[in-house]
């Protein structure tokens, strides 16, 4: 299984990538903002999951989610927002625009694992 972690924090990208490898993702790519993440997804249609932060330069995570869902060739990608945004209106906005799950920072590996199971990943 292939995944992509999109976050402007290098440490957060590394942490999430390690968690994903530990639960069975064999190839985990990283991108530092939504624009780079969208480009990577377009170039790698076999990615099945993207973990996306909300607040990033160049293209925010929510803008990336919106663009992914507008692209029919990317509709198979499961999108999980992993962010410090915690207001109910932000959660609703992300889910309405196409995020499949929402995780608030800080989080644990168990939370990520539970969300992956909800999304249908066999771990």
In this structure, is residue 123 part of a structural domain?
Answer: no
Residue 123 exposed, middle or buried by CB count within 10 Å (0-12, 13-18, 19+): exposed
Pick from 38, 35, 33: nearest CA to 56: 33
Domain limits for position 103: 2-118
In this structure, is residue 20 part of a structural domain?
Answer: yes
Mean pLDDT confidence for 45-53: 96
> Which residues sit opposite 79 in a β-bridge?
50
In this structure, is residue 104 part of a structural domain?
Answer: yes
Whichever domain contains 36, its CATH number is: 3.40.50.2300
In this structure, is residue 59 part of a structural domain?
Answer: yes
- pTM of the complete model: 0.95
- Structural domains of the chain, count: 1
CA-based R_g, the chain, Å: 13
Looking at residue 86, what is its pLDDT? Answer: 86
Looking at residue 123, what is its pLDDT? Answer: 75
Looking at residue 122, what is its pLDDT? Answer: 85
pLDDT tens, residue by residue, 64-122:
999 999 999 998 999 999 999 889 999 999 999 999 999 999 999 999 999 999 999 98
């Amino acid at each position: 299984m292939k995944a992509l972690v999109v976050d402007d924090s290098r440490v957060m990208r590394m942490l999430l990538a390690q968690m994903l490898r530990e639960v069975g993702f064999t190839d985990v790519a990283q991108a530092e903002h939504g624009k780079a993440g969208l480009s990577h997804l377009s170039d790698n249609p076999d990615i099945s999951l993207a973990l996306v932060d909300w607040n990033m330069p160049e293209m925010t995570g929510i803008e990336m989610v919106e663009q992914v869902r507008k692209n029919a060739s990317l509709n198979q990608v499961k999108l999980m927002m992993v962010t410090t945004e915690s207001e109910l209106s932000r959660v609703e906005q992300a889910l309405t625009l196409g995020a499949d799950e929402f995780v608030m920072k800080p989080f644990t590996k168990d939370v990520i694992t539970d969300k992956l199971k909800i999304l249908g990943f066999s771990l």
